[in-house]
Amino acid sequence: DTGVSQDPRHKITKRGQNVTFRCDPISEHNRLYWYRQTLGQGPEFLTYFQNEAQLEKSRLLSDRFSAERPKGSFSTLEIQRTEQGDSAMYLCASSSQGHLNTEAFFGQGTRLTVV
C-alpha cells in the first residue's frame, strides 16, 4: 500500500495522559499536514511541514501539542496532558512538491477518545 498510513487507528486514553500518533506519508511527498476533525465538522488545519521544517502552526495547536518530522519522512503528533476536548479524528495528509495546485492525499486517521 503506497498511500498515507496512520497509526494507531484508534486510541482511548485517560484524561491527563500523553498520546503520540504517527503518520507515514507517500514516499516521494515532501509536504505533510496534520488536521483535526470533530463530529459534524470539516477538517481543521493544525500544522504543516515541508521536509523536516515545520513552517506553519495553527492557533488551534496549543502548547500541549507538538509535532515533529525529524528526517523529512514520517511525522509524529504528540498531545500532552490530554483533555476531553481533544477527542477527535486526527488526519494526516501529504502532497508533492510543486505548485499549489497539487492535491493532498489523506490517511485514514487516528480516532482519539479521551475518557
Partner 1 sequence: AQSVAQPEDQVNVAEGNPLTVKCTYSVSGNPYLFWYVQYPNRGLQFLLKYITGDNLVKGSYGFEAEFNKSQTSFHLKKPSALVSDSALYFCAVRGSSGNTGKLIFGQGTTLQVKP
Give the integer Cα–Cα distance in Å for 63 and 61: 7
Which is nearer to partner 1, 77 or 91 (by Cβ)?
Answer: 91
Q: For 36-49, b where at least 16 C-beta lie within 10 A, e where not — what string?
A: beeeeeebeebbbb
Which is nearer to partner 1, 3 or 16 (by Cβ)?
Answer: 3
CB of 18 to partner 1, least distance (A): 24
CB of 45 to partner 1, least distance (A): 5
Which is nearer to partner 1, 5 or 80 (by Cβ)?
Answer: 5
CB of 68 to partner 1, least distance (A): 17
Write the DSSP assignment of 3-66 as a string of letters: S-EEE-SEEEE-TT--EEEEEE--TT--EEEEEEE-TTS--EEEEEEETTEEEEE-TTS-TTEE
CB of 53 to partner 1, least distance (A): 11
Residues that bind partner 1 (CB under 8 A): 4, 6, 31, 33, 40-45, 48, 50, 55-56, 91, 93, 95, 100-109, 111
